[in-house]
Amino acid sequence: MKPLAPLVLGVLLVSGCAPALSVKARRPAELDLQGARKAAILGIGGEGGEAFEQLIHASMRTAGFEVLDRSALEALADAECVGMTGSLGSPEAAAAIGRALGVDLVIAGRAAERYEEKLENSEFKDAKTNATKTLYRRGATARVSVDLGLHLTGSPAAIPVKLVQWAEEKPIGYVENPPTLDREASMRRARKATAGAFLRKVAAYEVVETVHFLKRRSIPELGQGIALVRGGRLDDAVSAFERAVEGHPSDTACWFDLGVGYELRGLYDDADRAYGNAGDLRPAKTPFFRKPFADLERRHLEDAKRRNARRLADVRELARQQAARDEKSTAPPAAAKTDRLAKS
C-alpha cells in the first residue's frame, strides 16, 4: 500500500489550511456605565490612595474620559460646598454631588497596601573543605487592594468595585549576602496592575490572543478577511467574512471565520449564532482522505465555541447584575409599599 501522506498533504493544500494569528482583540468594558464619559474622583483614602488616584486619573483620560483636574475639582467643591472625601455616604448624596459638579460619574473609595519580605536560608556543604555554610535568598510580595464606589448621577444605585493585585519579587538563588529589595518599585508595579484592572472595568480594552481561521482557497473573501484581521482592520474583516457567507451559505469555514470575526469585535451573541451554524453544517460522514483536515476543523470549532461561551456568560452575568442594581434603585421604599397596601 502506498503511503497516504502525499495524498493528505495534497488535500490540505487544495482545501486550505487553518492559519493561527496573534491579533489584537477589543473587549468591552466589564461594567455598564450607561454612556458616562465625564467623571470626578472625589478622593481615594487609605495608604497608597493618593498614588492610586493619580494612576486612574491618567488612565481614564487616556481611555477617552473627561476627568476633572484636582484643582478644578477643589474649586468647584468649594463653590458648591461639596466635601472632598473618600466616603460619600449614601448613593443619593453621591448622585447629588455629581450633579452639582456637572459630571456623569463620581468615584470614591479607599485603598490599602501591604508589603512583605521573606528571607529563606539553607545550609550547603563545601565539597573541598567539608565545611557547612549558611546561604540566604530574599523574596517579597507587594499587595494593593482597593474598594471603590462608582456613582452614576442618573441612578441612585452605587456600583461596588473591589480590586486586589499583587507584584512579586521571586527569590532567585542562595548567596551569602542577598541584595536589598526595592520596596517602592514593587508597590508601583502592584498599583499599576490595580489601575489596569480598574480601567478594564470602565473602558473597552485590547488583548492579544491567538485565533484560528478555516481558510478555503476557493473562497477569496476568506483570504481577504484573514489578511484584514492580520492588519488590525476588524470591521472590514467582518464585512469580508459576511460576503463569504452570502456567497457560500452552506460552507462551514465561512460561518466559522465570521464567528471568529464577531468574537474579536466583542459581538459574542452574533459569534455564538455563527459558530452554531458552522456546527450544523458539518457533514455526518467525511471521506477518509479529508478526515485529518475535518478533525482539525472540528477541534478549532469546539475550542472557539467554548471560548466564546465563557465570554458570553460573563457579559450576561454583568447585564444581570446591572439589571438587579437598576431594579433596586427604582423600587419604592418599604414604607411607601406599606402605605399603599394599607390604603387598598
Residue with cell 483636574: 69
Model confidence band, residue 60 (pLDDT cutoffs 50, 70, 90)? very high
Closest CA to 306 of 277, 278, 283, 272: 272
Q: What residues have CB less than 8 Å from 45, skipping those under 6 apart?
A: 85, 86, 87, 109, 110, 111
Question: Looking at residue 344, what is its pLDDT?
Answer: 44
What phi and psi, each to the nearest 5 degrees, are found at residue 131?
-85, 150
Question: Looking at residue 18, what is its pLDDT?
Answer: 57
pTM value > 0.75 = no
Name the more confident of 323 and 303: 303
User: pLDDT digits over 6-19, tens only?
Assistant: 433 344 434 445 56
Closest CA to 184 of 118, 146, 140: 140
Question: Looking at residue 274, what is its pLDDT?
Answer: 92
Name the more confident of 225 and 214: 225
One-letter amino acid for residue 87 of the chain: S
Q: In what order do the strands lie in the sheet with 38-46?
A: 66-67, 38-46, 105-125, 132-152, 158-169
Check pLDDT > 50 for residue 342. no
User: pLDDT digits over 258-313, tens only?
Assistant: 999 998 888 889 999 998 888 887 664 544 434 445 566 677 788 888 887 877 78
The pLDDT > 70 percentage for the chain reads 76
Closest CA to 12 of 220, 236, 293: 293
DSSP notation for 186-244: HHHHHHHHHHHHHHHHHS-EEEEEEEE----TT-HHHHHHHHHHHTT-HHHHHHHHHHH
Check pLDDT > 80 for residue 80. no
Question: Looking at residue 181, what is its pLDDT?
Answer: 93
Q: Indicate the pairing of strand 38-46 with strand 105-125.
A: parallel
Check pLDDT > 70 for residue 84. no
Model confidence band, residue 72 (pLDDT cutoffs 50, 70, 90)? low
Provide mean pLDDT across the span 22-35. 82
Residue 11 near residue 290 (C-beta atoms within 8 A): yes
Number of neighbouring beta carbons within 10 Å of residue 12 = 15
Check pLDDT > 90 for residue 61. yes
Q: Indicate the pairing of strand 158-169 with strand 132-152.
A: antiparallel
The pLDDT > 90 percentage for the chain reads 39
Model confidence band, residue 191 (pLDDT cutoffs 50, 70, 90)? very high
User: pLDDT digits over 111-163, tens only?
Assistant: 999 999 999 999 988 778 888 889 999 999 999 999 999 988 877 678 899 99
Question: Looking at residue 129, what is its pLDDT?
Answer: 82
Cross-strand bridge partners of residue 25: 207
Question: Looking at residue 172, what is its pLDDT?
Answer: 81
Name the more confident of 62 and 215: 62
User: pLDDT digits over 222-235, tens only?
Assistant: 999 999 998 888 89
Average pLDDT over all residues of the chain:
80
Name the more confident of 36 and 332: 36
Check pLDDT > 90 for residue 97. no
Cross-strand bridge partners of residue 118: 139
Provide mean pLDDT across the span 41-52. 91
Check pLDDT > 80 for residue 37. yes
- Where do the H-state alpha helices sit in the chain? 5-15, 49-62, 70-80, 91-101, 183-202, 220-230, 234-247, 252-264, 268-280, 291-330, 334-343
